[in-house]
Chains A and B, each alone.
Chain A
Amino acid sequence: MDYTRLFDVIVVGGGHAGTEAAHAAARMGCDTLLVTHSIETLGQMSCNPAIGGIGKSHLVREIDACDGLMAKVTDRAGIQFRVLNQRKGPAVRATRAQADRVLYRQHMRYAIETTPFSNRYLILF
């Protein structure tokens, strides 16, 4: 990787915002660089290993409708799935998944590593 060139987009951070941001820019054909302090913790779930829930799963579906990562990775890492508010109307129905923390990280890293275009990450201390 030629780090001296002028990138289109540099994303600082490899968490849930950083991975989606870098992947989105790369999907759009941009020369993208992801800068993180550790490749090992790309997509790390720092707190509860769960994705979705009321209001939140709506955001996950919106990311998915734009071909983003979170829903795809959760489907591959989820070890329990439930539909909440099933007896209420469809507007507030929500999906919640319990994820395997290790699988989530692995699938997220795989998705970032196999992004087309020139997306690369760099570790900075």
Chain B
Amino acid sequence: MGLTLRSKTVVITAGTFLAGQIHIGMNQQSGGRAGDPASNDLAKSLRDKPFRIARLKTGTPPRIDSRSVDLASLPEQPGDTPTPYLSMMSVGNEHPTQIACYLSRTTEKTRDIILENLHLSPMYAGVIEGVGPRYCPSIEDKMVRFADKPTHQVFLEPEGLTSHELYPNGVSTSLPYEVQLDIVRSMEGCADAVITRPGYAIEYDFFDPRDLNSTLESKLISNLYFAGQINGTTGYEEAGAQGLLAGANAALRAQDKESWTVGRDEGYLGVMVDDLITLGTQEPYRMFTSRAEYRLALREDNADTRFTEKARSLGLVGDGLWRKFNERQESIEKELTRLKSLWVRPADPCIEKLNQVLTAPLSKEATAHDLLKRPEIHYQDLVEFADVDCNDDPSISSQVEILVKYSGYIDRQTDEIKKLKKNEQVRLPADIDYSTIVGLSNEVKQKLLDHRPETIAQASRISGVTPAAVSLLLVHLKKLELTHLAS
């Protein structure tokens, strides 16, 4: 429109739209998503600046008309009852009607069709230069990488209550339409399936996240922030979390306030941003619990304890959530104190029932808090067998149980982390044979072979080399040392 807009700060969240290129078979067209145009002017103006820009690829499966699938022949996958909620602010009446998914499978015929037509896949014909997501591979990738696996699960997920479309989870593909139809029809229960829209691969520009600092502000242009797939990530959740951080920091800058960063020990958001800005990424980055070294502390159930107070001080949290948060923290504290003051004694009338649950009978008096520390005892057991009054709010009792039961593990993890940090100076011999190390995943072996890290510290910073893999490497080095000494 030729407008000029002015702002103190700008957040760019262009997703897959920057110079997006859609591939279906050997056909290509410019686009940001099926049916939407790519943002080529924005891509061009950003390419003129000294950013490091590369290409990534992602894909989506064809969609299927549910009326053309023999759903009755497929196992039904219902949701959980009671249905969980994601938001602390939800009161329990927000969910619309709940429906089931279905489980289909690929067959040997599926594999044959894909392998015969591989030359028509833009990925394999070399048309696509971008790297795709390892953890959400196309069906072509799966058939090539796991050629000996006769069948793969395909969850058929409804796209909505007012749609007949099914999303076949696991068959993302960029093969030509005719081949996609053959693939879908070779799956269990899908012999007469109708495709409502074809799958495709999309290539797009991403900006090397090593050019950002931990607030997601560009190191090259100040007051400019990047969030989402533009930084090399994949997934709505990864994008949303970065959006929150970038938006909040843009706001803080506009208000001349100090910036906000999240540590690796504070949240998955911190783990993700630190991974991105220190390591960059060679493939679309997806969040995993294995990427976090402090995962006992970073749980789904304590996100509020880790974030809400800080977020409130930044002005992000409204009065409603703040009130709810404080009530919850208070209830948890109260319940912990209560359990510490409730005594159970070997002479109590309830002891017979309780001893049946305990691995060793109670020999001396203990508090309910002590009992809860035992792995065999759950909060519910205390209520049933030890005459402990129930807390009315199940979210409070489950939080208290986790806090009590895992406090020992959390302390131990903190010690392990300290020890691991010391070990980070340990050198890896240049001739080490990673393929013989038992317990390392193929992914980690391949990455270690590619990178040939010089030290454990370097190895631990390679994306995908988990803390558990580092421990395995340390054990292996110890073994090598011992064999060396013995000879």
A5 to B236, CA, bound (A): 32
Q: B237-245, B343-351, B430-438, B442-450: which lies at the A interface?
A: B237-245
Q: Which of A4, A16, A46, A59 gathers most chain B CB within 10 Å?
A: A59
B42 at the interface (CB under 8 A from A): yes
Which residues in window 283-316 of B have CB below 8 A to A?
A: 286-291, 295-296, 298-301, 303-304, 306-308, 311, 314-316
Determine if B248 and A17 form an interchain contact, defined as CB atoms under 8 angstroms apart.
no
Q: Which residues of B contact A70 (CB under 8 A)?
A: 86, 236-237, 240
Shortest Cβ distance from B203 into chain A, in angstroms? 14
Determine if B244 and A56 form an interchain contact, defined as CB atoms under 8 angstroms apart.
no
Determine which of A9, A28, A75, A93 lies in contact with B94 in the assembled complex, contact meaning CB atoms within 8 Å: A75
Q: Give chain A's interface secondary structure class.
A: mixed
Q: Which of A4, A67, A93 gathers most chain B CB within 10 Å?
A: A67
Determine if B5 and A7 form an interchain contact, defined as CB atoms under 8 angstroms apart.
yes
Q: A48 and B243 in contact (CB under 8 A), knowing A28-B314, A90-B402?
A: no
A80 at the interface (CB under 8 A from B): yes
B25 at the interface (CB under 8 A from A): no
Determine if B160 and A7 form an interchain contact, defined as CB atoms under 8 angstroms apart.
no
B12 at the interface (CB under 8 A from A): yes
Shortest Cβ distance from A22 into chain B, in angstroms? 6
A22 to B12, CA, bound (A): 11
| B1-15 interface code vs A (CB 8 A; 1 in, 0 out) | 101011111111111
A8 at the interface (CB under 8 A from B): yes
A48 to B58, CA, bound (A): 12
Which residues in window 211-234 of B have CB below 8 A to A?
A: 225, 227-230
Q: Which residues of A contact B288 (CB under 8 A)?
A: 54-55
A71 to B37, CA, bound (A): 29
Q: Which residues of B contact A33 (CB under 8 A)?
A: 5, 7
A66 to B290, CA, bound (A): 24
Q: Which residues of A contact B1 (CB under 8 A)?
A: 124-125
B267 at the interface (CB under 8 A from A): yes
A23 to B5, CA, bound (A): 19
Q: Which residues of B contact A59 (CB under 8 A)?
A: 237-238, 240-241, 268-269, 272, 287
Residue contacts A-B, CB under 8 angstroms, 8 given = A9-B11, A10-B9, A12-B42, A37-B17, A47-B58, A58-B300, A60-B237, A91-B289
A-B residue pairs, 3 tightest by C-beta: A17-B228, A21-B247, A20-B243
A-B contact sample (13 more), CB < 8 A, given A58-B300, A67-B89? A7-B5, A18-B13, A19-B243, A21-B243, A28-B248, A51-B237, A58-B299, A59-B237, A64-B86, A70-B237, A79-B158, A83-B80, A90-B402
